Amino acid sequence: MTLTTDRPESAASPTTRRSARALFLGPPTQPRWTRPSFAALLIATAMLYLWGLGSSGWGNEFYAAAAWAGTEDWAALLFGSVDPGNIITVDKPPAAIWVMALSGRLLGFSMFSVLLPQALMGVGAVALLAATVRRWHGPAAGLLAGAVLALTPVAALMFRYDNPDALLVLLLVAAAYCVVRATETASTRWIALAGVVLGFAFLTKLLQAFLVLPAFGLVFLIAAPVGIWSRIRKLAIACAAMIISGGWFVLLVELWPASSRPYIGGSTNNSLWELTLGYNGVGRLLGGSGNSRGAGSGDFPHFGGTPGITRLLTQSAGAEISWLLPVALLGLLAGLWTFRRAPRTDRTRAGLVLWGGWLLLTALVFSFMSGTFHEYYTVALAPAMAALAAIGVREIWCRRENFAARSMLALMAASVGLWNFVLLDRTQDWLPWLRWVLLIGSFTVAAAFLVAGHFRTFTVVLAATGLLFGLGGTTAYTLETISVRHSGGIINSGPPQDSAFGHGDDIAANAALNVLLQNTDTRWAAATISSRVGTQLELSSGKSVICLGGFLGGDPAPTLAQFQSYVTSGAVRYFVATGRGNAEEPESSTDALPWGVPADSVTAAITAWVKANFTATTVGSTTVYDLTH
């Protein structure tokens, strides 16, 4: 009998080597550099967004406290309550809270577990944007679009912060990807999936999620390769899917007995539907009476500059988003003109309609809305601006043999250099030399495009130089953004700035008060006015606190009768005063209320009742009432 032995090969077989090579380099139909470059982009983005992630502490304590409450109580997780005792919710739907709270339950609640999902959402948004643009406009455009998004200052700001905007952007980009896939083959499945994703975006920031709907619907209606009635029918299916995926939670809240769930923060009648149409709907657009009293009435400060066509270019908002806006707009105009006679299903024109519609409609709404507007809202513009800039540069670059195309490239380079100079000139004490370097470099590149853009060897260097100066301003501002600590509800990218709206009292620094609350065993350790202060106490003490009146203290929750019953039953131990008075000096009812709380509100009535029936003491520097005596 002959015994044969199979010895392992010392090297991988040719088939294995080819498989590994294909996995790393991608299919032969795409350039060899596509997949390695894409991987490098995502690694660099992850490093950018994860570096020093805990430096901002809890970030926005309003949402961080709601995430903590979600780790303590499942009902609080479901509704997005500010405290585990389920008195009142945040003034948004809870989708972003779900993600942060589940992260806290999985990893243990900490500053890192709160902010980690946002950073990962940023990496995901960059990846999806690059993949979406690549499908119709090539790998170079996709890579550039992802890089521009990653290096947009407001994106770096919000993808390292615990506001709902990070999840909103990720879902909007995911919906755009689904629309692109659906438009290619008129796929019912993909267009319905786009509707599902937009429904969940609605559960993140309500009606803001629907600003992209006209652009998404128009591109499918124009470019899907089927008959008009089939396109309309498929869009109707997508709308139905969107209503179901976003409406189930609204229906759940409306049908749930109000007595056994928290009050819907920011609403006037404990209704999520009213919140959608009121404070977060008409109130955002028109201001004034459209805003709920509890979360933004006429007394609420006006942020974000004066409404008008130039709002997004002003000092407060321009540096957040507009670094490459000239390139995006010029690319959109040039692209639409170039492809004006293209077939109906032309993908390049469809891409311009998709991203251009997203950018223009959202920008117009942000520019003219008269209600509460914060500069960081502009992160919703970042994917569209990045995509348009990348598509425009790619399409014009491919036609650089034509003098008109080189002239447009020169105009793009010069305009972005000039606009970056204007933006940087507004912060003259920060890197004062940078604006001059970018201005001179961009104009030099513009001149070179005109005289030497058609030489093959020189164009590689010219392209790299153009990207260096074109992205120099936004990159520097982004790096500064991640190096600065941000906290509170009003934040800006770039160098540190004084906020017009802070926390109020820094009550979390009162060590004696934290010890006092930590030693309680009641359902609520304390009650205090507004969640701006109550959430600080929750995060610093690890105890549940009633945030009277919600965000600004004006919501009718809890009522005076409810609060009195809590005190009578021993469910709440202390009342922590946050007004201008103290225990040693008599104070009026108005003085006892922090800024923003209406004098005729339920919160004011509760404060007056506590002052009339309990004795004030001073703990550290804070006035505290023991509700058991």
Q: Is omega for the bond preceding 139 within 30 degrees of 0, making it cis?
A: no
Report phi then psi at 616, rounded to 5: -90, 140
Kindly report which listed range (88-92, 373-377, 591-595) carries the lowest average pLDDT score. Answer: 591-595
Question: Using an 8 Å Cβ cutoff, are 345 and 180 in contact?
Answer: no
Give the contacts of 65 (CB within 8 A, at least 6 positions apart): 58, 82, 83, 531, 534, 535, 538, 539
- Residue range 70-80: average pLDDT? 96
- Residue range 9-31: average pLDDT? 60
Q: For residue 1, what pLDDT is reported?
A: 41
* 279 DSSP 8-state letter: I
Residue 19 or 525, more confident: 525
The pair of three-digit structure tokens given for residue 351, joined into one six-digit string: 């891409």
| Of 625, 603, 513, nearest in space to 554 by CA | 603
Pairing of strands 572-576, 545-548: unpaired
Beta strands in 164-282 (DSSP E): none
Q: For residue 279, what pLDDT is reported?
A: 78
Question: Using an 8 Å Cβ cutoff, are 80 and 73 in contact?
Answer: no
Considering the chain, what percentage of its residues have pLDDT values greater than 70? 88
CA-to-CA distance for 369 and 282, rounded, in angstroms? Answer: 9
CA-to-CA distance for 592 and 260, rounded, in angstroms? Answer: 31
Quickly tell me which residue has 């997005």 as its tokens. Answer: 80
Residue 90 has pLDDT above 80, yes or no: yes
- Residue range 467-475: average pLDDT? 94
Q: For residue 509, what pLDDT is reported?
A: 83
The CA-atom distances, in angstroms, between 378 and each of 98, 163, 279, 325, 423 are 23, 13, 19, 12, 16
Residue 399 has pLDDT above 50, yes or no: yes
Kindly report which listed range (18-27, 118-127, 396-405) carries the lowest average pLDDT score. Answer: 18-27
The pair of three-digit structure tokens given for residue 555, joined into one six-digit string: 């919501």
The pair of three-digit structure tokens given for residue 191, joined into one six-digit string: 């267009």
Quickly tell me which residue has 């994703």 as its tokens. Answer: 197
Q: For residue 579, what pLDDT is reported?
A: 59
The pair of three-digit structure tokens given for residue 109, joined into one six-digit string: 């609640």
Query: For the purposes of burial, counting CB atoms within 10 Å of the CB of 360, is it exposed (0-12), middle (13-18) or buried (19 or more)?
Result: middle
Residue 23 has pLDDT above 90, yes or no: no
Residue 334, CB half-sphere, CA atoms under 13 Å: how many? 26
Q: For residue 14, what pLDDT is reported?
A: 57
Gyration radius from the chain CA atoms:
27
Does the CA dihedral 458-461-464-465 come out positive or negative? negative
Residue 519, CB half-sphere, CA atoms under 13 Å: how many? 6
Residue 461 has pLDDT above 50, yes or no: yes
Helix axes 403-425, 434-452, angle to 10 degrees: 170
CA-to-CA distance for 544 and 488, rounded, in angstroms? Answer: 20
Q: For residue 282, what pLDDT is reported?
A: 75
Residue 57 has pLDDT above 90, yes or no: no
Residue 133 has pLDDT above 60, yes or no: yes
Beta-bridge partner residues of 574:
526, 626
Give the contacts of 307 (CB within 8 A, at least 6 positions apart): 367, 368, 369, 370, 373
Considering the chain, what percentage of its residues have pLDDT values greater than 90? 70
CA-to-CA distance for 332 and 340, rounded, in angstroms? Answer: 12
Q: For residue 580, what pLDDT is reported?
A: 45
pLDDT tens per residue, range 322-335: 999 999 999 999 99
The pair of three-digit structure tokens given for residue 596, joined into one six-digit string: 């923003």
Residue 586 has pLDDT above 50, yes or no: no
Residue 110 has pLDDT above 90, yes or no: yes
Q: Which residues of 323-344 are buried (b: 16+ CB within 10 A; e: fewer)?
A: bbbbbbbbbbebbeebbeeeee
Give the contacts of 326 (CB within 8 A, at least 6 positions apart): 412, 415, 416, 419
Question: Using an 8 Å Cβ cutoff, are 280 and 92 in contact?
Answer: yes
- Residue range 436-452: average pLDDT? 92
Band (12; pLDDT cuts 50, 70, 90): low
| Of 258, 203, 248, 243, nearest in space to 90 by CA | 203
- One-letter identity of residue 413: A
Residue 583 has pLDDT above 90, yes or no: no
Beta-bridge partner residues of 310:
none
Band (24; pLDDT cuts 50, 70, 90): low
Q: For residue 490, what pLDDT is reported?
A: 82
Residue 453 has pLDDT above 60, yes or no: no
CA-to-CA distance for 427 and 145, rounded, in angstroms? Answer: 27
Residue 244 or 277, more confident: 244
The pair of three-digit structure tokens given for residue 475, joined into one six-digit string: 């990159």
Which ranges of 426-510 does DSSP label H, i.e. alpha helix? 434-452, 456-483
Residue 20 has pLDDT above 60, yes or no: no
Residue 178 or 403, more confident: 178
Q: For residue 582, what pLDDT is reported?
A: 40
pLDDT tens per residue, range 329-360: 999 999 999 999 999 999 999 999 999 999 99
Residue 203 has pLDDT above 90, yes or no: yes
Q: For residue 304, what pLDDT is reported?
A: 66
Most confident range (mean pLDDT) of 169-178, 336-345, 422-431 is 169-178
DSSP letters for 385-445: HHHHHHHHHHHHHTTTTSHHHHHHHHHHHHHHHHHHHHHHHTTTTSSTTHHHHHHHHHHHH
Q: For residue 581, what pLDDT is reported?
A: 41
Cα 29 to the center of its chain, rounded Å:
36
Q: For residue 598, what pLDDT is reported?
A: 78
Report phi then psi at 30, rounded to 5: -115, 155
| Of 524, 517, 616, nearest in space to 572 by CA | 524
